[in-house]
Amino acid sequence: MNSWANLGFDLHVELPHGIGVRAALLQTLRDAIDSGLLKPGTRLPPSRTLALDLGVARNTVADCYAELAAAGWLVTRQGSGTVVASLADAHIRGTDPSPTRPRFTYSLLPGSPDASAFPRAAWISSARRALTAAPNDAFAATDPRGRVELRNALTTYLSRARGVRVDPSRIVISASSGHGISLLARALGGAIAVDSFCLHLHRQLLVDEGLRTVPISVDESGTCTEELGSTSTRSALLTPTHQFPLGGPLTPARRATAVEWASSTGSVIIEDDYDGEFRYDRKPVGALQGIAPQQVAYLGTVSKTLSPAIRIGWMVLPDRLIEPVLATKGPYERWVSSTDQLTLADFIESGRFDSHIRKMRATYRRRRDQLVATIAQKVPHVRIEGISAGLHAVIRLPSGSEQAVLTAAQTCDLSLEGLSTFRHPDVSPVGGDGIVVGYSTPTQSQYPRTLDVLCEVLQTALR
C-alpha cells in the first residue's frame, strides 16, 4: 500500500548561487511563501522527492523543512506531509486576503440562475456515461461546428421544445450567446438594428466588432419592428420571446413585420432566445426562427437553464451564414470543451435537461409570485412589469428616482441594476426610470431576506 510519502509532485525551485545549499533552500522557500507563490495550505513535495529533483542530500531538505516548521512557516504532520502554514498569511504582502469575497451581501442582478440549484449529481452521471462511451476522436481537435453528438441532441430538443427548424449541419456550437454574437458580427459587418433598451454587454460586443448600432423603439408589445424599414441596416438583434429587459413578447403582427423586412431586404435577424424555456402566465411562445429559418440566426445557451459556468451556446444558422461563421471561428473547435459537449448531449438525451427545466420553472414561478406579493404589500405605489416569463422583472420608478434607489441599495449592501444601464447611448435619458430585478439570482435560503432588503431600499429612497 502506497503512503503519501511515496508520491512525488513538482515544485519549481531555483537555488541562488554564492551561498551554501542549505541556506539557499531556506531563503528560496521563505521568499516563495513571503511573495505568495506558495500559498497557505500548499502541500510541499516529500523531502526525498525534492532532494532528488535538486540533486542534494535528503537530510538537507528535511532539515530545512524542520527549521521552517519551527519558525511557523510550515506545518509538518505525520501521514499528512508538509504544508505551508496558515500563519504565513502574516508574511504575505500585497495580496487580497479574500479575493473571491462578493462585493455585496445581497444580489438581485439579472442574468443568472440560482447557482445552488445546479443539478450536480445528474451532471456527474451524464459526464460519466458520456466519457465512458466517447470515441477516441473526442479527445483530439474536432469539427469547428462542435461535437456531432451535441448537435444531434440539440436538433431533437430545439425542434420539440422551441419550434426551431433545424438539422445538425446548420448548428454551430459556441462558448456563449455573446460568443455567437461576436462571430455573427464579424460575418455580417455594417450597421445593425438593436432595441433602444437591450443587454448592454451584447451591444458592446457588436461595437467592439466594428458594427454601428441603430436603436429602435420598444414597448409592452416588444420591439417596434415597423421601424426596421426606415433604417439602413441589413441585420437586427432581437429577443422576440421575452424582450430584454422590459419583458414583453413580440406580438404576432410584429413578428410578421420583422420577417417581411428580412425577406424583402435580404437582411438577417439574430434571435437571442436567452430564457425561452421559462414562461408562467402565458402559452409557450416558439422561436421566430421557426417562421423564417433562412432569415433568422437563432442563438441559445445553457447559461440561464443550467449555469453560466458551463460555457456552451449554439447557433442555428441560415445556409448562407454557415461558411462565413465557420471561417471566422477557425478550422478547429478551440472554444468549447469536447467533454462538456458530450456531457450536455447525454444530459439532454437522457431527459435530465427537461426534468431540470420543469423543476426550475416551478421554482422561479414561486419566486416571481413572492416578489409580486411582497412588493404589493410593502411598496404598493410602484409598478412591476415583464413578469409573465423569464428570470427577471422590471420595477418602474417615479421619474428621477432611479439613482436614489441604487444609492440606497449600495448602502444596504444590495446589488441592483438600473434600467438606464440598458438604454442605448443615442436614446434620450428622459423618463424610463426603473430597476431590473433578477429574482433567480439568490439562493433559496437568501431569497426572503433579499426581498426584505429590496423593500427597505425602495421605502427609503421613495419616501
pLDDT of 6 above 90: no
What domains does the chain contain, in order, with CATH numbers? 4-91 (1.10.10.10), 106-114+354-462 (3.90.1150.10), 118-351 (3.40.640.10)
Predicted local confidence at residue 54, as pLDDT? 87
- Please tell me the predicted confidence (pLDDT) of residue 94: 40
Q: What is the pLDDT of residue 332?
A: 77
- For 192, list phi and psi in degrees, rounded to 5: -140, 140
Enter the pTM of the model. 0.81
| pLDDT tens string 87-144 | 544 444 344 444 444 467 899 999 899 999 999 999 999 999 999 999 999 998 888 9
Tens of pLDDT, residue by residue over 380-439, are 999 999 898 899 999 999 999 999 999 999 999 999 999 999 999 998 876 689 999 999
pLDDT in tens, 78-92: 667 888 987 544 444
